[in-house]
Structure 1
Amino acid sequence: MSNPAIRSAAPADIPAITRIYDHEVRTGTATFELTPPDVAEMTRRFTSLQEAGFPYLVATLEGHVVGYAYAGPYRPRPAYRFTVENSVYLAPASHRRGIGTALMIELIAQSEARGYRQMIAVIGDSANAASVALHTRTGFQMIGTHPDVGFKFGRWLDTVMMQRALGAGATTVPA
């Protein structure tokens, strides 16, 4: 297996990102969205994060986008400004190949470089062992589970909360 190339996402990547996310919305429980957003909506989301200075990455193999990851605001109130929430999605054929780990390592590095101090993962479905393992592998700690907060595919789903410090974390006052 060749190593994925990790780079900043570009507008030209949005159709591939949309296809990856569409599949997860329609078939998975990592996201609690019920209707897949179209390219225009995914472009709006990408542009919003990019204009706000958040990292948004893609992983490519042989020139094809096979996964993406981004950090965004954890909550809108100003006291949360040093905390980000992460998202990582992979094309179905790209699971269990180290691509998610490569994306997360770079996402963490870029978030630290931007001065963020905490990263939160809100993992859809407590049965999502692959996502929990990915986050554990990249330094996240379990902070709790919200039982039965989502309803998708005719069943109640939990969310798992994980967190990791970025850079100095909470040991110093941010600049």
Structure 2
Amino acid sequence: MSSPEIRPATAADLPFITEIYEHAVRYGTATFELVPPDLAEMTRRFSVLSDGGFPYLVAALEGRVVGYAYAGAYRPRPAYRFTVENSVYLQPAIHRRGVGLQLLQKLVAASEQRGYRQMIAVIGDSANAGSIGVHTRCGFQMIGTHPNVGFKFGRWLDTVMMQRALGEGATTLPATS
């Protein structure tokens, strides 16, 4: 497999992003959404993140989007403004080929460039070994598991929390407070 082109997402990518996410909602446990959002809703979400200055990336192979990743606000209160939460989604056929790792590495770098100091991963389903492994390879540490907090596909699901410092992390004060 050739290396993917990883670049900032554009509005033209949203139909592919919507398709990837729809599959994740319908068949996976990485997200706890139960009804896939339509293109209009995915466009609204993209605009909120883009307008907020958050990084939003796609991975493309032979010109077709096969995955995407973004960082967004971890929590809405101002004290959390230096912490982001990440999301990474791939077409099922692309899993276990290193694309998710490359997307996450670029997302970490883009978040550091924007001055964020911590990144949180909220991983749906403690059995999601692929996502846990990719985050571990990117320097995330396990910080805890919330057992049985989601109910999807007729069963209870955990969320796994992982975290990594970005840039200087908490070793220095941010440039603006």
* TM-score for both structures, normalised by structure 2: 0.99
TM-superposition CA deviations, 1:61-104 (whole Å, max 9, x none) = 00000000000000000000000000000001111111001101
SS in 2 for 1:127: coil
SS in 1 for 2:69: strand
Structure 2 Cα separation of the partners of residues 126 and 88 of structure 1:
16
Aligned letter for 2:69?
A
Kindly state the Cα deviation for residue 120 of structure 1 after the two structures are TM-superposed: 0.0
Q: Which residue of 2 aligns with 1:162?
A: 162
- Count of residue correspondences: 175
> What pairs up with 1:20-39 in 2 under 5 angstroms?
20-39=20-39
> What pairs up with 1:127-142 in 2 under 5 angstroms?
127-142=127-142
SS in 1 for 2:151: strand
Q: Which residue of 2 aligns with 1:95?
A: 95
> What pairs up with 1:41-56 in 2 under 5 angstroms?
41-56=41-56
Kindly state the Cα deviation for residue 4 of structure 1 after the two structures are TM-superposed: 0.4
TM-superposition CA deviations, 1:44-66 (whole Å, max 9, x none) = 00000000000000000000000
Structure 2 Cα separation of the partners of residues 162 and 85 of structure 1:
10
Structure 1 Cα separation of the partners of residues 139 and 104 of structure 2:
10
Q: Which residue of 1 aligns with 2:10?
A: 10
> What pairs up with 1:107-126 in 2 under 5 angstroms?
107-126=107-126
SS in 2 for 1:101: helix
Structure 2 Cα separation of the partners of residues 169 and 47 of structure 1:
27
Structure 2 Cα separation of the partners of residues 150 and 96 of structure 1:
25
Structure 2 Cα separation of the partners of residues 5 and 39 of structure 1:
23
Displacement over 2 Å in runs of 4+ = none
Structure 1 Cα separation of the partners of residues 102 and 158 of structure 2:
26
SS in 1 for 2:60: strand
Structure 2 Cα separation of the partners of residues 97 and 33 of structure 1:
25
Structure 1 Cα separation of the partners of residues 159 and 101 of structure 2:
21
Structure 2 Cα separation of the partners of residues 125 and 52 of structure 1:
29
Percent identity between the two aligned chains: 77
Structure 1 Cα separation of the partners of residues 93 and 28 of structure 2:
14
Structure 1 Cα separation of the partners of residues 17 and 36 of structure 2:
12
Structure 2 Cα separation of the partners of residues 18 and 139 of structure 1:
29
Kindly state the Cα deviation for residue 168 of structure 1 after the two structures are TM-superposed: 0.1
SS in 2 for 1:14: helix
Kindly state the Cα deviation for residue 22 of structure 1 after the two structures are TM-superposed: 0.1
Unpaired segments ≥5 residues, structure 1 = none
SS in 2 for 1:41: helix
Structure 2 Cα separation of the partners of residues 76 and 82 of structure 1:
11
* TM-score for both structures, normalised by structure 1: 1.00
Find out whether 1:40 has 2:40 as its counterpart.
yes
